[in-house]
Structure 1
Amino acid sequence: MKDVKHISSLQNPLIKKTLLLKEKSRERKKSGLFVLEGRKEFELATKGNYTMDTIFFCPELISIEALKASFKIENTPLISVSLEVYGKLAHRDTTEGIMAISKAKNHELNSLHLTQANPLILVAEAPEKPGNIGALLRTADAANLDAVIIANPRTDLYNPNIIRSSVGCVFSKMIVMADTSSIISFLKEKRIAIYCAALTASKPYTSINFTGPTAIVVGTEHSGLSEEWLTNSTQNIIIPMEGAIDSMNVSVSAAILIFEAKRQRIG
């Protein structure tokens, strides 16, 4: 493995730095770097034009020949690590021998440039649970949404649990984050209708015409959407419930609403 450095010590400064990036949101924000692992995630990040700072691989799990054959890694420092070091770095129990330190992207609202004249956007207000955020991003990818906007974010987008639960879809879609007021102003400026999932003053989602420029807005299951969204909504929408409860998991609700919009646009 000519020109490939090998690290077998957990005390190596680069390994310590990588562990800090994995474990501390503060370190990720300060450095503009984050850690990803797994072939699928690496592939999606590469397709999403993420810039890799360093690539790690474990020879016991993936050969350097397979690594070079599968991924474009010519200009990125490549480091071999022992199985012990890789096990310490890896976030998942079952893994595929490849990790990377990558540069984060700009997720400010001014980075969102919609190329479609008739966009379909998902807005999620203050989601906290990485599993829910990951599921929302998987739905956005499956529906090929034009963008995902996170209002009043409470969780670091590059949290390893979000990357894992999204199966790398955090890299496949345009994602921006901003405060609610700025997002509402942006949507109104772009003449995008705002449909808020809410229990009050709502119409059944199947009665709504989603074929124009549309933002579907969802809140948390616990507290729903803030009053600012409800005040500025084009129309509140509801998924009729026939059981004993009046709400579903936010990712399930979002998927139902998004794919109804997709159905209307195809039909």
Structure 2
Amino acid sequence: MNTLKYISSPQNTLIRKIVLLQEKSRERRKQALFVVEGKRELALAIQANYELDSILYYPGIMSKNDLLDLIKEIKNQPEVIEVSQDVYQKLAYRDSTEGVIALLKTKKHALENLRLKNKNALILVAESPEKPGNIGALLRTADAANLDAVLIANPKGDLYNPNIIRSSVGCIFTNAIGVGTTAEILDFLKANQIQVFCAALSASQAYTQTDFTKASAIVVGTESTGLSQSWLEASTQNIIIPMEGEIDSMNVSVSAAILIFEAKRQRSK
């Protein structure tokens, strides 16, 4: 591996391009590129067969040998660029990312490309999630539970928002993810004979009284508006987490985790 370039100026054209990709969803869609910061996150992306366009490293934190070890299994080697401390500090969100930032090519997450490995699948569906932190937490939960897929209905933004990648701790790369409209996802679930369990406040039964042992999709909505009527009408059974305090709902990622791990508990018997 040879370092092809050295960039010392934060005003360099490539550096300005990377900043735009970090900040603007429009640029990520237009260029089909996104930014990954950190050794762990990048390692997970490589493991998931994401294609690297270029990789930048600051030798004051990461050595060239460590970088070589990180990317040694990649068939099509990316362009490697050494950067100055000033450049790295301009691009890095946090100090503990081990001195590496990379540009990767986005993947399409169309439902027709999604293949479920298990017939008795357990899937998480999130309708119109808005907050990157919540999406990241949902992906971390899905990874922890080794779910068969995470489906995003009517997304409000793009999955390659740097805040999603950070908050998911790279779990955006470890999950099988499908994106579509509510109607498209409902068709997908029906075609795969998957029951639909919607987290809702009305016409619901306690989640502990619900049978998740067959192929199941657990569906969660936003904390502000909940699920749309389309989901509630298509639901096999609406489910609820009984609340014993003064409020009637929890953070969506917390609720999803409770429901998912109840399903896992039932399936482990």
Q: Which structure 2 segments of 5+ residues have no match?
A: none
Match of 1:266 in 2: 268
- Cα distance change on mapping 1:112 and 1:2 into 2, 3 Å: closer
- Secondary structure at the aligned position of 2:136 is classed as helix
Return the letter of the residue paired with 1:164: R
What whole-Å deviation, never above 9, does each CA across 1:184-205 have from its counterpart, x for those lacking one? 1111111100000001110100
Q: Report the residue type matching 1:188 in the other structure.
A: K
1:121 to 120, 123, 134: 123
Instruction: Quote the offset at 1:13 in angstroms.
Output: 1.4
Cα displacement (A) at 1:259: 0.4
Assess if the C-alpha contact under 8 Å between 1:137 and 1:170 holds in 2: yes
Query: Which residue identity is paired with 1:224?
Result: G
CA shift, 1:2, in A, is 4.6
Corresponding position of 1:142: 144
Residue 29 of structure 2 is matched in structure 1 by: 29
Counting matched residue pairs gives 267
**Equivalent of 1:184 in 181, 186, 196:** 186
Q: Is the 8 A contact 2:2 2:80 kept in 1?
A: no
Structure 1 letter corresponding to 2:56: F
* 3-state SS, counterpart of residue 171 of structure 1: coil
Q: Is the 8 A contact 2:22 2:162 kept in 1?
A: yes
Distance in 2, matches of 1:233 and 1:5, equals: 55
CA-based RMSD of the aligned residues comes to 1.2
Distance 1:143 1:115 in 2: 15
Does 2:45 correspond to 1:45? Answer: yes
Counterparts of 1:1-267 in structure 2, within 5 Å, are 2-72=2-72, 75-267=77-269
Identity %: 62
The secondary structure found in structure 1 opposite 2:62 is coil
On the 8 A contact 1:91/1:160 being kept in 2, the answer is: no
Q: Cα distance, 1:206 vs. partner? A: 0.6
SS in 2 for 1:170: coil
Give the 4+ runs in structure 1 shifted more than 3 A: 1-4
Retained in 1: the 8 A contact 2:3–2:81?
no
Structure 1 unaligned blocks of 5 or more: none
What's the CA shift for 1:91?
2.1
**Inter-partner Cα distance in structure 2 for 1:32 and 1:83:** 27
- On the 8 A contact 1:45/1:171 being kept in 2, the answer is yes
- Secondary structure at the aligned position of 2:242 is classed as coil
Structure 1 residue 17 displacement after superposition: 1.2
Question: Aligned letter for 1:7?
Answer: I
